[in-house]
Amino acid sequence: MGWKAFSIATTFSIFFLLPFFAFLATANDTLVPPETICKSSQYPSYCTNLLPKQNAKVHDFARFSIQKSMFQSQKFLNSLNFYLESTFTKETINALKDCLFLSQLTSQYLSKSNYVALKNTNETLYTSQVDDTQTLLSAVITNHQTCLDGLITVANSNLTIENDLISQLSNDSKLYSVSLDLFTKGWVHEKKNKTLWNSTGLHPRFKNGRLPMKMSNRTRVIYHSSRGGGETHDDDDQSGVLVRDIVVVSQDGSGNFTTINDAVAAAPNNTINATNGYFMIFIKEGVYEEYVSIPQNKAYLMMIGDGINRTIITGNHSVGDGWTTFNSPTFAVVAPGFVAVNITFRNTAGPSKFQAVAMRSGADMSSFYRCSFEGYQDTLYAHSLRQFYKECDIYGTIDFIFGNAAVVLQNCNIYPRLPLHGQFNPITAQGRTDPNQNTGISIHNCTVKPAEDLAPSVSTVKTYLGRPWKEYSRTVVMQSFLENLIDQAGWSIWSGDFALSTLYYAEFDNRGPGADTSNRVTWPGYHVINATDASNFTVDNFLQGNVWLPQMGVPYIRELTTFN
């Protein structure tokens, strides 16, 4: 099955790429040789050997590389399907399944990127198209790296995996990096970011502590009935977020479903955008012991609970019990446009079970409002694409906010917990592997303070703002309140001098006893920045959030904050 599919893919690729060589030959704009355009890439020799041996525009080289990436992603998918028909250990099968899931997403992202690049045969794209495509190509690299990390952990037990799949992954890593580099050179220009100061702190449609909603009379009746009646000020705003339909989850049988997974299955498939409104799942108070995974075809879902520690979704999968980190989450979502409000996501595996994720999000343009994420090591896995967290509580120990999304945490409470004896707490472990990825963790106007179990031990347990999981790790902490649990050095190494000159860690205008930067690390990649640099990591400039957050009704601070 696997090799037959590979043969078809090969034939298709050769046929598909032939017209492209002709297009390159007729390009009449400024032309450059591949050696010139590849000189500043991460892999100049690979890039030069990859591209056609003729002069062309950088845009055409980018189109060629993205098409080549599409073919390679399909080839790797076929290899995975072939190996999944074989007999391996449970650990190897789990790693292969993660790769299959990620590679399917990668193929979709490359297809979308290719469509944008080929549809526009000139050098001009809308800003939103550039941002979307750079985000997708960044996620391709993230997916690929996650797969590679998983296979490396099982490679020693299977030389076939090591010699074949890991070899393919290593070569494809260079290809995807070149594709992102060429796209960046061609279309991503220096942004003229705004350095604005926002003193209101709220999106104008947000009021009275709830989301403004626009819904039909029928939907409004169901919603208020599920909440036991009460005030209506959260849904009488006709300019608010549009809700097209609603189902209720209740363990006592009074709703439409008794499990969250059944409600997700009932949601419409392949909603293109939020123009027609969100499908709302209201989850009544209760402890839901189930593992929820929202696939990509369930776009524009809104989940609302009864509140933190009232609506709780809980599980205990962990690496210690044989799960991969990627597949350990209690709740996982890759559906774009996802919104969660007033829910606790919990992993109870404990500090002795190593990595154990409460929430994994690879959902583009997703937001989490007034939610709680509770775990120990690796609590919140902000895996990829664009994400926003507002007024959330996040609890954990080692690397408990990690991943390679472009993510802004705003007005959140970050609670380091008591780790095992001899361990320390790095709060973040950001996973950027390529300098062209538009990813990173921005912690804006948050509060970092010890959880109750750590409070008596803050003088003996070292807590840091983060450590570099990957070579181009990027984390910014700005305008936040840091209690005295933060070590004076601020940041911790991963291993030796790994990534210390390539990472980007920055602080701006923080407050509190842990915010003093006079004794911070002196790494080349660490910076105390000014307002102009900090503005690069606001909701508007880092996430382009003013384009997509308004339709969700979630409040947000667009820019830097003026403190009274």
Q: Is the pLDDT of residue 441 over 80?
A: yes
Catalytic residues: 399
DSSP per position, 144-166? HHHHHHHHHHHHTT-HHIIIIIH
As a whole number, mean pLDDT of residues 488-517 equals 98
> pTM score, two decimals?
0.92
- In degrees rounded to 5, what are phi and psi of residue 356? -155, 100
Contacts of 505 (CB under 8 A, 6+ apart): 465, 466, 468, 473, 474, 475, 476, 491, 523, 525, 526, 527
Q: Say which range, 4-18, 200-214, 422-436, 515-529, has the weakest mean pLDDT.
A: 4-18
Distance (Å) of CA 37 to CA 44, 58, 274: 9, 7, 40
Q: Is the pLDDT of residue 132 over 60?
A: yes
As a whole number, mean pLDDT of residues 39-54 equals 95
pLDDT band for position 143 (50/70/90)?
very high
Instruction: Give the model confidence (pLDDT) of 50-96 as tens digits.
Output: 999 999 999 999 999 999 999 999 999 999 999 898 888 889 899 99
Instruction: Give the model confidence (pLDDT) of 151-170 as tens digits.
Output: 988 877 666 776 788 888 99
The pLDDT, as a whole number, for residue 6 is 35
The pLDDT, as a whole number, for residue 30 is 82
Q: Is the pLDDT of residue 200 over 70?
A: no
Q: Is the pLDDT of residue 19 over 60?
A: no
The pLDDT, as a whole number, for residue 261 is 98
As a whole number, mean pLDDT of residues 245-269 equals 96
Q: Say which range, 190-199, 344-353, 475-484, has the weakest mean pLDDT.
A: 190-199
Contacts of 364 (CB under 8 A, 6+ apart): 135, 139, 336, 337, 385, 386
- Reported as half-sphere exposure (CB side, CA atoms, 13 A), residue 370 has a value of 17
Q: Is the pLDDT of residue 9 over 80?
A: no
- In degrees rounded to 5, what are phi and psi of residue 434? -140, 135
Q: Say which range, 1-5, 20-24, 408-412, has the weakest mean pLDDT.
A: 1-5
Contact criterion met (CB below 8 Å) for 388 and 458: no
The pLDDT, as a whole number, for residue 194 is 58
* DSSP H/E element including 543: helix 539-543
Name the more confident of 236 and 421: 421
Q: Is the pLDDT of residue 287 over 90?
A: yes
The pLDDT, as a whole number, for residue 191 is 58
Cα 252–Cα 256–Cα 259 angle in degrees, nearest 5: 65
Enumerate the β-bridge partners of residue 366. Answer: 387
The pLDDT, as a whole number, for residue 193 is 59
Distance (Å) of CA 54 to CA 118, 187, 339: 19, 21, 48
Quote the CA–CA distance of 436 and 429 in Å, as a whole number.
Answer: 18
Q: Say which range, 88-102, 447-461, 530-544, 547-561, has the weakest mean pLDDT.
A: 547-561
The pLDDT, as a whole number, for residue 124 is 76
Instruction: Give the model confidence (pLDDT) of 113-124 as tens digits.
Output: 988 877 665 667
In the chain, the percentage of residues whose pLDDT exceeds 70 is 87
Instruction: Give the model confidence (pLDDT) of 419-431 as tens digits.
Output: 999 999 999 999 9
As a whole number, mean pLDDT of residues 264-293 equals 93
Q: Is the pLDDT of residue 103 over 60?
A: yes
Q: Which has the closest alpha carbon to 555: 390, 412, 444, 445?
A: 390
Neighbour-count burial for 472-492, b at 16+ CB within 10 Å, e otherwise: bbbbbbbbbbbbbbbbeebbb
Alpha helices in 199-343 (DSSP H): 217-226, 260-266
As a whole number, mean pLDDT of residues 374-398 equals 98
pLDDT band for position 240 (50/70/90)?
confident
Helix (H, G, I), strand (E, B) or coil at 237: coil
Enumerate the β-bridge partners of residue 442. Answer: 408, 476
Instruction: Give the model confidence (pLDDT) of 322-352 as tens digits.
Output: 999 999 999 999 999 999 999 999 999 999 9
Contact criterion met (CB below 8 Å) for 142 and 177: no
Q: Is the pLDDT of residue 141 over 50?
A: yes
* DSSP H/E element including 91: helix 90-119
Enumerate the β-bridge partners of residue 518. Answer: none
- Going from the N-terminus, what domains does the chain have, and what CATH number goes with each? 34-187 (1.20.140.40), 437-557 (2.160.20.10)
Averaged confidence pLDDT in the chain? 88
Q: Say which range, 32-36, 138-142, 267-271, 481-485, has the weakest mean pLDDT.
A: 267-271
Name the more confident of 351 and 220: 351
Distance (Å) of CA 123 to CA 31, 62, 132, 180, 181: 13, 11, 16, 16, 16
pLDDT band for position 236 (50/70/90)?
low
The pLDDT, as a whole number, for residue 538 is 96
Quote the CA–CA distance of 63 and 118 in Å, as a whole number.
Answer: 7
In the chain, the percentage of residues whose pLDDT exceeds 90 is 72
Helix (H, G, I), strand (E, B) or coil at 501: coil
